[in-house]
Amino acid sequence: MSSAISVQHLTKDFRIGIRGLKLRAVDNLSLEIPRGQVFGLLGPNGCGKSTTLKIILGLVTATSGNISILGHPSATSEARRRTGFLPEAPYFHKFLSGRELVSYCAQLSGVDPSKVDEAVEDALSLAAMTEAADRPIGTYSKGMLQRIGFAQTIVHDPELVILDEPTAGVDPVGSAAIGRMIHAMRDKGKTVVLCSHLLGQVEQVCDRVAIMDRGKLVLEGKVDDVLARRDQHVMTIESLTPAAREAAEAALCVHGAKVTSITHPRRSLEDLFRELVTGSRDA
């Protein structure tokens, strides 16, 4: 089976200024994104992530290289029919209601007219937007905008979902909700490509990550593989008395091991925040 996205030797140069100076945004990038996984594309601002996504979606033309989506050349109608895209900080027509927007996007995405209503309800339900679906988009909070954006992304049941900074400007509760939606997509067998600056979230939701810098791929692999430090171990111990600690250190020393640090485990501030404000969903 072909990859969800296959990028081969992709290069993109932008011409800037009257003299047409060349700015290389993506430099000979090759990447295989397997199907059915959540893939994180990371990198600092200006590293070429968004340009890569736009080229994949056919919104920008590549200077050189080949891209295929689910076995079809990118930018073809067939590839787009099977892809859903949520841009960074999405903006939608404020006068439409959430339901009208999702229905509009379903029609543009080629959903069978007789199945549009059902598809819209499913997408709104998955995005937890059913209750607010009939309100004008102009009255939505930032988190709701992202969720309705997510609903329009998945309304045509795409096999590949591309999310560009889906949690930018969203509070931790909304961010967690989007994380759950991403997991739900993976559970349905979809491929999700996530472009984000929030490394903590990427670590939580992604199976694989790629890191780009200055247009080049600098690292790619499974999250567990790239983060694990194989030469060190962490033990979590309850009721550790000073005597027990000394005994444990001595026992380890006999085997040539050395304890380099002993700390208390910490929960993340995000976990604490979510624990404290649970129930105050982004409504």
Partner 1 sequence: MKASLQRTTWITRVTFLEAVRQRFFAFLVILGAAMVLSSVSFRVLDFGHGELKFIADFGFGGMFLFGSVLAVVMTAQLFFSEMDNRTALTLLAKPLSRTEFLLGKFFGTWAVLGVFVLILSSLLGLVMWGREQELLAAAEQPGKIPVQFSAGGLLSFAILQWFRLGIVIAILLAVSAAARTFLFAVVMGALAVVAGQLQWIAQDAVLKPTQNSLYGAFLWVTSRLIPNLQQFNIGDALVLEPASVPVDAVAMAVASGGFYMVAFLVLAALIFRSREI
Note whether 190 binds partner 1 by CB under 8 A.
no
For the CB of residue 131, give the shortest distance to partner 1 in the complex, in Å: 23
Contact 215, 25 (CB under 8 A): yes
Note whether 274 binds partner 1 by CB under 8 A.
no
For the CB of residue 186, give the shortest distance to partner 1 in the complex, in Å: 21
For the CB of residue 111, give the shortest distance to partner 1 in the complex, in Å: 11
For the CB of residue 83, give the shortest distance to partner 1 in the complex, in Å: 7
For the CB of residue 266, give the shortest distance to partner 1 in the complex, in Å: 38
Note whether 105 binds partner 1 by CB under 8 A.
yes
Note whether 49 binds partner 1 by CB under 8 A.
no
* Region near partner 1 per CB under 8 A, out of 104-112, 200-208, 227-235, 239-247: 104-112
Interface with partner 1 (CB under 8 A), residue total: 31
- The residue within the footprint of partner 1, chosen from 21, 108, 227, 240 (CB under 8 A), is 108
Nearer to partner 1, 139 or 278 (CB): 139
Q: Which of residues 59-98 bind partner 1 (CB under 8 A)?
A: 59-61, 77-78, 80-81, 83, 85-93, 95-96
Note whether 57 binds partner 1 by CB under 8 A.
yes
Note whether 104 binds partner 1 by CB under 8 A.
yes
For the CB of residue 143, give the shortest distance to partner 1 in the complex, in Å: 18
For 9, other C-beta atoms within 10 Å of its C-beta total 12
Sequence-separated (6 or more) residues with CB below 8 Å from residue 40: 194, 195, 196, 202, 205, 206, 208, 209, 210, 223
Interacting residues with partner 1 (CB under 8 A): 54, 57-61, 77-78, 80-81, 83, 85-93, 95-96, 104-105, 107-110, 113, 149, 152
